[in-house]
Amino acid sequence: MSRSHNFTMPIKPFHSLVLPGAVFLLTALLADKVCAQGNTAQSLKGIIVPATPGLLDGKTPIVINKTAAIALGKALFWDTAVGSDGMACASCHFHAGADRRAKNQLATGEFHKTASGKTFQKMPSGNIGGVNYTLRRSDFPLYQLADPLDKESKVLFNTDDVVSSSGVFLSLFQDLDQSGSRMDDCTSVKDTIFHLGDVNTRQVQDRQVPSVINAGFNFRNFWDGRANNIFNGVSAYGARDTKAGIWVLGKDGKVKKQVLRLENASLASQAVAPPLNDSEMSCKQRAFPAIARKLLPRRPLAAQEVHKEDSVLAKLRHVSGKGLRTTYQSLVKAAFAPRYWSGTGEFGSPKTAPDKPYSQMEANFSLFLGLSLQLYQQTLVSDQTPFDTLRLTHVYPHMPKGLNASQRRGLKVFLDGGCDVCHKGPTFSAAAHPDVYRPFKGFSSLRLVNRDLLNGSFIPHRGTLKPLMDEGYFNTSVTPESYDPGVGGKDPYGNPLSFSEQYAQQLLTGKPLKDPVAINACDFNKTFTDDYQPNELRNDPYTIGVCSHKPYQKIPTVAVWQAELKKGKFGRAFVATRGAFKVPSLRNIELTGPYMHNGSLLTLEQVVDFYFRGGNFQNDAHFAALVLQQPISKQEKADLVAFLKSLTDERVRWERAPFDHPQLLVPHGHSGYVDPNNLKQAEDLFLNVPAIGKKGRDASLGPLRAFESYLKP
């Protein structure tokens, strides 16, 4: 556990809501426990998801009934009524927390700001691809070389298209359907990309969907980290969103809008984004109070089967077998403190019905959805794998007892190849909360920014650089940096998503950070004393806590730093964030393909080839200190893949509790005909995901399989 400190952080627009134990400046001292298994990461068993102070504890917790909140979260996650046109959160996370659909799963790669980023290209198989295409095994990888282990061999195929997940039709929100339908009343907007002839098809996202399993251990979420560690109750952007606030009933009987800053709540920040995203789950211009007005009077999951042995929802199951016998409103009241929903007054109103103002419960629905989804997803921990078995301390490097001979050899290849530098700790991800994994004592803060070696091939007279990087976000050159900025992008307010870019552009030039985080120079792998002269440095005034490396507690003077910034990548102030993405967990990786942020790799063998050849490209921010060409034999490759498969939790494979779930009909491409209920949209086809109880899938269903096994050659 870490020790935290409270700091007031006044925000002028609203009254500041300071929760007991909440942390506004994220600092921590080291825990006494460190990884003690030699070079082998410790088991995930017993690792606690970082707590959100003030959520469940203190004199005035937000959630007063955790069991009810988890039930609310599970219902909201799987309910197709949450989306505007039948999309649930689970529609993209139903297979080991990820998506295994194969039809209508291609996007043009719109982050690539060129003509090709708005058009589809041919697939490697030679097929046309594009809208409503059904993926084949011969379509992978999306970047192909004559020799898969030689980065310099002839390029046979490349595309900026992305394999991802289909969402909603492009449309404009008008009102709730007055008949009580789970579908919103929306008007189709002509889609210039996702269409078949004159009718719209479902849009596809620009990045592959990561698994939600074990996501509760991450400090930030989404590939680019935009789901902030701080939850503001409304949006994904934490303290950056200065207009965000929630309505709170005070002891004086008055309801006031207040600022909320909940630490270690990036899952809640992530959860509130898709329901309003107009390509993922929502018609354009829909608002959270409108979702609340639609859902609160309804029975959760009313159109979906709930298994009689559901590990969370069985006791609430409706006698019909479909949905629950309660309402969303009742679950909110049971789970959350009354001060967030019991006040009276008017809290805005829909444009279509200004005479029907929103209630406090409707106005605060983003708070309820975000936190309940977080609490549900935090139960999705897969810590029962062969890797999580007892360590054989007499065998170096402290092998888990449950690994077979091939898997043990594969673990050795994994360690010798340096894979554990990025895929480290019990979650196998450097993007985990620093409280989850600390490699050694001595850090004075949560290390969110690092300074480390990088290739400097674009500067002939310098073989290496020491740029700033976001911890857990690396550029492995899957695609050129121009295809997608990753954590090097910006938020809607024009601020860098990256902590290291904020540090470079703001703190080191004398300006406050947009995110309330502590960044201490003495925690970097490569300090500024390595390549700055003593007269160019000053003492770091931003250190919080105790720095055990005081000789290195130096940062450049403002004048020197600003001069280096002007040199860009040729200077000593280089920031390696462009094209860098969050390091995903390797747990259950066997079941969560296709791989990489663009879904470009189909199999684990292709992933191994990618890393051992040193990536696909040589981007400026390429992490060549680790992603470099290395020899690997066929046997070593087979053993490494065997080790990666040992990270699969059989409960996930068979969907046993806590991975069981209600029924779900997932849109899976289109029939080629027009939808008779909407002549401007293509008719949906559906994949039926059956309701599963706590004992898991039966033999007739069989286990979940790897993505490639669902594809034709």
Count helices and strands in the chain by DSSP H and E runs:
12, 23
As a whole number, mean pLDDT of residues 195-202 equals: 97
Residue 582 to residue 430: CA distance in whole angstroms: 8
**What average pLDDT does range 505-524 have in this prediction?**
91
Nearest by Cα to 681 from 104, 181, 106? 104
Q: Report the SS3 class of residue 336.
A: strand
Say if residues 640 and 70 touch (Cβ distance below 8 Å). no
Of 33-47, 401-415, 579-593, 619-633, the range with the lowest mean pLDDT is 33-47
Q: Please give the pLDDT value at position 570.
A: 79
The torsion region of residue 86 among left (phi > 0), alpha (psi -120 to 50) and beta comes to left
pLDDT given at position 397: 80
Residue bearing tokens 């940062």:
555
Q: Averaged over 148-177, what is the pLDDT?
A: 96
Residue partners of 439: CB distance under 8 A and separation at least 6: 34, 35, 424
The per-residue pLDDT for 288 is: 97
Summarize the confidence of residues 353-379 as an average pLDDT.
97
Looking at residue 134, the DSSP 8-state letter turns out to be B
The confidence score (pLDDT) of residue 440 equals 56
Angle formed at CA 430 by CA 238 and CA 496, multiple of 5 degrees:
35
Rounded Cα gap, residues 292 and 357, in angstroms: 12
Q: Specify the range with the lowest mean pLDDT, choosing from 38-42, 372-376, 636-640.
A: 38-42
Cis peptide before 50 (omega within 30 of 0): no
**pLDDT value of position 444:** 61
Instruction: State how beta strands 449-451 and 468-470 pair.
Output: antiparallel
Using CA atoms, how far residue 88 sits from 167, 168, 660, in Å, is 9, 10, 16
pLDDT (mean) for 355-370: 97
Cβ–Cβ under 8 Å, residues 361 and 336: no
% of residues, the chain, pLDDT over 70? 92
Number of other CB atoms surrounding residue 489 within 10 Å: 18
More confident residue, 174 or 23: 174
| Residue 522 pLDDT exceeds 80 | yes
Domains defined for the chain, CATH in brackets: 1-21+55-384+652-713 (no CATH), 386-435+582-651 (1.10.760.10), 449-470+499-574 (no CATH)
d(CA 428, CA 60): 35
DSSP 658-679: TS-B--EEEEEEEEEEEETTEE
Query: 38: pLDDT confidence band, cut at 50, 70 and 90?
Result: very low
pLDDT score at 10: 29
Q: Could you tell me the two tokens for 133?
A: 């295409």
Strand pairing of 449-451 and 399-400? Answer: unpaired
Q: Are strands 255-260 and 15-17 parallel, antiparallel or unpaired?
A: parallel
Q: Label residue 671 exposed, middle or buried (CB < 10 Å: 0-12, 13-18, 19+).
A: exposed
Q: What is the pLDDT of residue 281?
A: 98
Rg of the chain in Å (alpha carbons): 25
Would the pLDDT of 535 be above 60? yes
Give the mean pLDDT of the chain. 91
C-alpha triplet 277, 281, 283: angle, nearest 5°: 70
Summarize pLDDT for 455-513 with one digit per residue, the tens: 644 444 445 678 999 999 999 999 999 999 999 999 999 999 999 999 999 999 999 99
- Determine the average pLDDT of the residues in 599-623: 94
pLDDT digits (tens, 9 = 90+) for 65-100: 999 999 999 999 999 999 999 999 999 999 999 999
Query: Is the pLDDT score of 29 beyond 70?
Result: no
CA dihedral (15, 20, 23, 27) in degrees, to 10, reads 150
- Within a 10 A sphere around the Cβ of 206, how many other Cβ atoms? 20
Q: Could you report the per-residue pLDDT of 210-236, keeping only the tens digit for each? A: 999 999 999 999 999 999 999 999 999
Question: Which tokens sit at 134?
Answer: 């059904």
Q: Over the stretch 117-155, which tens digit does the pLDDT of each residue have? A: 999 999 999 999 999 999 999 999 999 999 999 999 999
Segment 269-292 mean pLDDT? 97
DSSP 88: -
Other beta carbons within 10 Å of 97 = 25
